[in-house]
Chains A and B, each alone.
Chain A
C-alpha cells in the first residue's frame, strides 16, 4: 500500500505535498494502469491462442464428447459427491492422527540425552522405512495382509485399514516436516529459555514447538492436500470414493467426463483449504509482529 499524500494524517499537520510529489504519484498511477492493460491484453491473446488451437484440432469434437459431456457430468456429480464424503471423513480422521503421530515422532527424534538413544533410533528407522515405502504397497499390505492373519478382534473393514495405512505413511512425512521446524529454531532461544529456569520439557513446549509449528504450516498444508488426494487410494479395497465413483461410471459407459468432474471437485476443495491456512498464517504473523515489523 502506497500511503497517499491526501491522507488524513497528512492534512492534520498542515503538510501540503509538493508539485513534484503530486506529479510523481500521477506518473506512477499511469504506469500502473498501463501495466494492468498490457497484462489483460496478453492474457486475452494467450487465451485466444489456446482456444483456437484446441477447438480447431481435428479430434476436438470427439474429445469434447468424451471429456466434457454435460449429460455425463450431471449423471456423475451426485455419485462423485457421495464418494467425496468418504474422502472427507478419511481426511479429517487421518489428518488429525497424522499430525499427532508426526509431532510425537519428530519430538522423539529431537530428544537430547544418551538415555533416549533407542527412542531416537526407533523413530529414525520408522521415518526412513515408511517414507521410502510406496504408499500403494503399504496400503495393499495393510488392507489385504492384516485380515489374512485372522487376528481375533482386529477389524477387516477396508476403510479403517486403509486409513491406518495412510496414517503410517503420512506420519513419516509429517514427522520430517516437524523435525525441520524444530531444528530451525535458533539454539539461542533454547539457551535463553533454559537460563530463565525452564526445564527442557517446558522449553520444548513453550519456546521451541510454538515457533517450529508456525514455521512449517505451509509445508504441512502441502502434505495435508496430498493426503486429501491420496485418501482415494483406499478404494483399492473396494470402498467407493469420489474418484472411484467417477471410474465406475466411466468404465460402464466409456466416457471420461466423470473423471473431469471428480478432478474439479477436488480442486474446489483444495482452494478454500489453502486460502484458510494462508489467513491463519497471516493472523499468526500479525499477532507476532504486534510491536511492528522492523
Chain B
C-alpha cells in the first residue's frame, strides 16, 4: 500500500506548505504609519519633489478620446483646452514645469478602481460627490459645472421652455455622468432614458432621431452644437441646485499623499484668478442660455 499512499502524502505536504505560505507570507502594507487618510496631518509640499508615482515627474491621467473643449485634438499634452491648461497650471503651482508632466491614458473605470494607481492625479470632468469620496480622494473643485439640454433645431424638444417640457421626451446621456443624474433626479422623464458609453454615441443617436434630446455639461453642449452637430442647438441649462450643482475635481488615490498639496494648489489658482482666466479663454460664456425651471 506504500505506492497508494504517495499521492496522499504529497497532498498533505503540499497543503501544509501552502498553508504556511498563506499565513506567513501574506504581503504586508508597507506604507509608513499604516494607511494614510487623505489630507491628514501637516503636508510638506516641497516644490517639484513630491512623492509622485514617477520620481521628479507628475503623471496626469485622462481618458481617451479627450474631448473638446476640455482638450484640443485629443492631445492632452498640448496645453490647449480648459482641462489641459488647468493640469499644467496645477503642475506649475506644485513646482513641475511643462517638461516634467507626463500624460497617461486612464479609462473612466480605472480612475476609481482600488489598487495601485498609475497616475498622481486624474483630470477627466469628474464631478465630486460624497459617494465617490468613499472610493477616491478629490482635490477641491476647479470648475463649477452646469448641465444643459441639446436638441435638433425645430424639433419638439427644441421648444421646451421648462423642465416639464422635457418630461415626455426620450432623453439621452453618458453613463457615469452628472447629466444622467440630472435626468433621473431633476427631470424624471416618463420614458426610461437612453444611456450611452460615450458622448459620441449620444450625438449619433441624436442625429438619427433615436433620442429627442441629450444632456451634457454646458461647455460640451456649446462645443457639440457649434462644431459637431451643427443642426442642433442648446435648448437650455439647469439651475445649479441639488444634483445639478456640481464641481469638477481632480481624482487622486484614496490614500494619496498628494491630496493636500494638490488641493492647496487648486485653491491658490482659484484665489489668484488663474482658473477664472482659463475659463474665459477656453470655455464659452453661459449667460445667453435660458435656465429651465
Contact = CB atoms under 8 A, between A and B. Distances in A.
Given A42-B15, A237-B194, A244-B195, A253 B132 contact: yes
B270 interface: no
A248 B196 CA distance: 10
Contacts of B267: none
B26 A238 contact: no
B33 interface: no
A147 B19 contact: no
Contacts of A46: 15
A81 interface: no
Given A158-B205, A248-B176, A248-B180, A240 B192 contact: yes
A216 B78 CA distance: 57
22 contacts: A42-B15, A46-B15, A49-B18, A53-B22, A56-B23, A59-B114, A63-B114, A157-B210, A236-B201, A237-B194, A237-B196, A238-B196, A238-B201, A239-B194, A240-B192, A240-B195, A251-B176, A251-B177, A253-B129, A254-B134, A254-B135, A255-B131
Contact of A144 (B26, B136, B201): B201
A156 B131 contact: no
A57 interface: yes
Given A52-B26, A56-B26, A237-B194, A147 B210 contact: yes
B182 to A, nearest CB: 12
B29 interface: yes
Interface in B1-56: 8, 11, 15, 18-19, 22-23, 26-29
A247 B197 CA distance: 10
A62 B116 CA distance: 12
B195 A57 contact: no
Interface string A126-156: 0000000000000000001001100000001
A284 interface: no
Nearest to B211: A238
A45 B208 contact: no
Which are the 5 A-B pairs with shortest beta-carbon distances? A251-B176, A238-B194, A147-B208, A254-B135, A58-B29
Interface string A242-271: 001001101111111000000000000000
A122 interface: no
Interface of B: 8, 11, 15, 18-19, 22-23, 26-29, 108-109, 112-115, 129, 131-132, 134-136, 172, 175-177, 180-181, 192-197, 201-202, 204-205, 207-211, 254
Given A156-B210, A255-B131, 13 more contacts: A52-B23, A58-B27, A59-B115, A158-B194, A237-B194, A237-B210, A238-B196, A239-B194, A248-B176, A252-B129, A252-B176, A253-B129, A253-B131
A255 B135 CA distance: 7
Contacts of A59: 114-115
A49 B19 contact: yes
Interface of A: 38, 42, 45-46, 48-49, 52-53, 56-59, 62-63, 65-66, 144, 147-148, 156-158, 235-240, 244, 247-248, 250-256
A238 B22 contact: no
Interface of A, secondary structure class, is helix
A57 B23 contact: no
B194 A144 contact: no
B132 A247 contact: no
B108 A251 contact: yes
A44 B32 CA distance: 36
A48 B19 CA distance: 8
Contacts of B8: 38
Contacts of B26: 52-53, 56-58
A66 B115 CA distance: 11
A94 B112 CA distance: 36
Given A59-B114, A59-B115, A244-B175, A158 B210 contact: yes
Contacts of B108: 251
Nearest to A66: B114
Contact of B210 (A52, A238, A247, A255): A238
A247 B11 CA distance: 42
Given A237-B201, A248-B176, A254 B112 contact: yes
B221 to A, nearest CB: 18
Q: Counting chain A CB atoms within 10 Å of each CB, which of B26, B28, B181, B211 scores highest? A: B26
Contacts of B29: 58
A56 B29 CA distance: 10
B114 A62 contact: yes
A235 B209 contact: no
Contact of B15 (A49, A240, A247, A250): A49
A56 to B, nearest CB: 4
Contacts of B132: 253-254
Contacts of B194: 158, 237-239
A251 B127 CA distance: 11
Given A57-B26, A66-B135, A52 B205 contact: no
A49 B179 CA distance: 45
